[in-house]
Structure 1
Amino acid sequence: MATPAAPNTRALRSSSVVRNPTFLRLWTGTTASGLATWALPFVLGLAVLDRSLTPVTLGLLLAARTAGFLAAVPISGVVSDRYSRRAVVLWSGLAAALALPAIAVGLGWSVPLMAVAAAVAGAGQGACRPAFQALTAEVVDEQQRQQANAAMTLAVRVTTLVAPGLTALLAVFLDIPTLLVGIGALWLLAALLPPKGTAAAPAAGPRSSFTTDFAEGLREARRHPWFLAGLGALTAVIATGYSATGVLLPLISRDRYGGEAVLAAATTAYIVGALVGALIIARWRPRAQGWAALAGLGCYTFAPLSLLLPVHPAVVLAAYVLAGLGIELFNVPWFTAIQREVEPDKLARVSALDFLFSYGLAPLGLVLIAPATEAFGPAAVLITCTLICALAPALAALAPASRTFSRTEKQLENA
């Protein structure tokens, strides 16, 4: 397994991590991958509007991309701990970069080609996630990782805020195949820009099986009760609250408030809240960082709760600001704690578990919310999701070491 090298000049020790060129390369690469990940379904949606794709084909392509993502995440976790994390980022980014022009070629001509290419693009997206997480821990000094993670999530939120308008503007001048090739160029940047990490080469010897290595990652995850509890809470919130508001907010905006204005405003309010949360957590170091993070995760309770009753639209917007702010107060300390607490040679595998469960179960929640709403009504679904969003983080806070997200709580308290 890859083991960490002794600290060297590549580790970041400057007063501000964003001033370091090494981190800026990593930040730019992760930002490019995030923008490319967001842009593909948006551009494919534009292809439906101009009748280059049918809605059925769009659903098939998005399903293929999700399948590729889910298949690649655990594989990448093992491979990223066996070999260079930088190499995994390179090859996964190149695979996605080549897949996007293939989708453009198949547009309006070959659905099977587009489906295979979408699966490859999803695999590239999934493979780079745990590798980027582990690479961040290699090139950023421990004292600056929270600031680094905040800078990365800030870039994601800014991208989400401005990219829809920018992409729609580009679509006025560029056709869909050209936009798809442009997404491929973003993946090329994500592949080529990140810096080399500091992990030493794996020790020579017989190679263990994939199953053995993956099981070793599971054992490492079980060594951290706060991780298992936090992952369970995060998965519950995403699979219920996030999915419920994603399905029901458009309907409530249309039926209760008479149009799409509340939908657009609430979505924007969520991103604005997340931006504020990222700015706060870049500097804030609460003593009980685990409990503070879980309290932030619990703020998502306000989103489904605000949709229960016919309140003023301003109440809905305020609820979504709080939900967005809270999710970043959770995300940044969560990623930082994983990078700090998990054994370096198992970090990618544990990160893969994080992405596999938290993001992998989100589509399942989206699938189940609609039939549950038809069977029990939107009020029952929203009440259930509100309770889960409130109780899951509270229960996670009872787990050992959840107060500081660390198995060495006394050391952190004295730091």
Structure 2
Amino acid sequence: MATTPLHGTTTGTAETGPPPARSVLRDTAFLRLWAGTTASGLATWALPFVLGLAVLHRELGAAALGLVLAARTAGFLAAVAVGGVLADRHSRRAVVLWSALAAAVAAPLLALGLGRSLILMTLAAALAGAGQGACRPAFQALTAETVAADRRQQANAAMTMAVRTSTLAGPTLTALLAAFVDAGTLLLGIGLLWLVAALLPGRPAAPRPAEASPAPAGPVAPAPAPRASLRAEFVDGIREARRHPWFLAGLGALTAVIALGYSATGVALPLVSRDRYGTEWVLAAAMTAYTVGALGGALVTARRRPRSEGWSALAGLALYGFAPLSLMLPVHPAVVIAAYVVAGIGIELFNVPWFTATQREVAPDKLARVSSLDFLLSYGLAPLGLALMAPAIGVFGVTPVLAVCAGACFLVPAAAALVPTARHFGRAPGPRAD
């Protein structure tokens, strides 16, 4: 969740406003960026799946799989903050290029180490995670550079639809390929996806707003100011985030839902599917329903313009609480599946406005750093939540843990909605500066 995470103006009281005059899907620059982002998302998703296939084929042990995935997560967390600073300091396109190339190089190293060297695989996984982490905030900021403000919600919806479609179709495609090629070859295929992510996106047609105006000419050019350290520039990004109370509140709500709600259902759903219903199909159906719901939510947000976009988004985020709630009760499996559809819809009702509002409200020269803070907290705490959830269930039982996590999913977004500026994720509806 993780894998894995917006609006224009309206008039009157209607929930929807007029669509953009020109579809973002007709923009060649965006389509190239969309294809590159999709390739990176598919490669990110595919790596743990392919490594899982290697375990099934006895090319990798279960303990070794845990070590390799942990190294990838560590690489991601170490690089996401640095990547945000570099994407604000240098060309976002260049950061995408070099970070994706790093992940592409890691893929054949993983294939080389498979069944031969766990040390090589661990180091390669850390490099892959670093490439993934560094490119995430750069892609987010590059979207704001490539797409005009009035079409960013549509662009972000298209991005998330591509990710969800990959999640839905990816397992079937990978399983089919695995019938003909081994895990090492699939790892090389992941490297090719990263090459697409590195090379396909083009440069934005216009410079960043902060770079658009040259320094005034004078008789003596002033000496350039010394470059601040990476740490100082990241702290500057934190200051920018603190200027937006809605962002801090929304990030806190998102982190709580991922670390508690998503982690609880990730551990409890397989147990409930096995122990209560006696079959694995409930697990598979619920996860598929969640992805289908997310696709539907992305379609809705591509055109939907609620007047109180922040409240609407936070209400969507709170809908995830129905997933752990359905696992608490002895209900028909159809109720569990319906709850996961609702949770999937809700997560995209939040994600798309959240990304768009961040691109709109945050200072353009600090956007990548603020985005990296988003990924660092929301995704960084997810492994901790997963690590603690199983022991908590062992001590307190499934139902009490799910009850606490469902309550957090409902209450924390509601509390975030009370924060000033949360109603509109920034300024009130009306003409907005890019």
TM over 0.5: yes
Q: Indicate the residue corresponding to 1:283 in structure 2.
A: 303
User: Using the alignment, how far apart are the partners of 1:212 and 1:43 within structure 2?
Assistant: 39
1:205 partner amino acid: A
- CA deviation digits over 1:334-371, x for unaligned, max 9? 00000000000000000000000001110000000000
User: Using the alignment, how far apart are the partners of 2:116 and 2:70 within structure 1?
Assistant: 19
Give the ranges of 4+ consecutive aligned residues of structure 1 lying more than 2 Å apart after TM superposition.
Answer: 197-205, 410-413
Q: Indicate the residue corresponding to 1:73 in structure 2.
A: 80
Q: Indicate the residue corresponding to 2:220 in structure 1.
A: none
Q: Indicate the residue corresponding to 2:123 in structure 1.
A: 116
1:70 partner amino acid: L
Does the Cα contact within 8 Å between 1:14 and 1:20 map onto a contact in 2? no
Q: Indicate the residue corresponding to 1:156 in structure 2.
A: 163
Shift of the alpha carbon at 1:411?
3.0
The counterpart of 2:369, out of the listed 324, 341, 349, is 349
Q: Indicate the residue corresponding to 1:320 in structure 2.
A: 340
Does the Cα contact within 8 Å between 2:328 and 2:403 map onto a contact in 1? yes
Does residue 107 of structure 2 align to residue 88 of structure 1?
no
Shift of the alpha carbon at 1:409?
1.4
Shift of the alpha carbon at 1:158?
0.5
- 1:178-197 equivalences under 5 Å are 178-197=185-204
Does the Cα contact within 8 Å between 1:149 and 1:332 map onto a contact in 2? yes
Q: Indicate the residue corresponding to 1:106 in structure 2.
A: 113
1:209 partner amino acid: S
Does the Cα contact within 8 Å between 1:296 and 1:326 map onto a contact in 2? yes
Q: Indicate the residue corresponding to 1:33 in structure 2.
A: 40
User: Using the alignment, how far apart are the partners of 1:393 and 1:283 within structure 2?
Assistant: 23
- CA deviation digits over 1:156-190, x for unaligned, max 9? 00000000000000000011111000000000000
User: Using the alignment, how far apart are the partners of 2:245 and 2:382 within structure 1?
Assistant: 23
Does residue 430 of structure 2 align to residue 411 of structure 1?
yes
User: Using the alignment, how far apart are the partners of 2:91 and 2:275 within structure 1?
Assistant: 52
- CA deviation digits over 1:186-206, x for unaligned, max 9? 000000011113333898431
1:100 partner amino acid: A
Does the Cα contact within 8 Å between 1:404 and 1:412 map onto a contact in 2? no
Q: Indicate the residue corresponding to 1:5 in structure 2.
A: none
**1:103/1:14 Cα in 2 relative to 1: closer, same or farther (>3 Å)?**
farther
Q: Indicate the residue corresponding to 2:269 in structure 1.
A: 249
Q: Indicate the residue corresponding to 1:365 in structure 2.
A: 385
Q: Indicate the residue corresponding to 1:175 in structure 2.
A: 182
User: Using the alignment, how far apart are the partners of 2:286 and 2:425 within structure 1?
Assistant: 31
Gapped runs of 5+ residues in structure 2?
Answer: 1-19, 216-223
2:42 partner amino acid: L
User: Using the alignment, how far apart are the partners of 2:144 and 2:225 within structure 1?
Assistant: 26
Shift of the alpha carbon at 1:14?
6.4
1:76 partner amino acid: G
Q: Indicate the residue corresponding to 2:25 in structure 1.
A: 18
Q: Indicate the residue corresponding to 1:48 in structure 2.
A: 55
User: Using the alignment, how far apart are the partners of 2:168 and 2:398 within structure 1?
Assistant: 28
The counterpart of 2:153, out of the listed 146, 159, 162, is 146
User: Using the alignment, how far apart are the partners of 1:378 and 1:173 within structure 2?
Assistant: 40
Does the Cα contact within 8 Å between 2:307 and 2:429 map onto a contact in 1? no
TM-score, length of structure 1 as denominator length: 0.95
Q: Indicate the residue corresponding to 1:219 in structure 2.
A: 239
Gapped runs of 5+ residues in structure 1?
Answer: 1-12
| RMSD (Å) for aligned C-alpha atoms | 1.6
Shift of the alpha carbon at 1:376?
0.5
The counterpart of 2:139, out of the listed 132, 137, 141, is 132
Name whichever of 49-58 and 208-217 sits farther off. 208-217
Tell me the secondary structure at the aligned position of residue 405 of structure 1: coil
Does residue 345 of structure 2 align to residue 338 of structure 1?
no
Tell me the secondary structure at the aligned position of residue 411 of structure 1: coil
Q: Provide the identity percentage.
A: 70
Q: Indicate the residue corresponding to 2:349 in structure 1.
A: 329
**1:277/1:412 Cα in 2 relative to 1: closer, same or farther (>3 Å)?**
farther
User: Using the alignment, how far apart are the partners of 1:69 and 1:87 within structure 2?
Assistant: 18
Shift of the alpha carbon at 1:308?
0.5
User: Using the alignment, how far apart are the partners of 1:254 and 1:66 within structure 2?
Assistant: 29
Does the Cα contact within 8 Å between 1:241 and 1:304 map onto a contact in 2? yes
Shift of the alpha carbon at 1:294?
0.2
User: Using the alignment, how far apart are the partners of 1:30 and 1:398 within structure 2?
Assistant: 34
Does the Cα contact within 8 Å between 1:85 and 1:131 map onto a contact in 2? yes
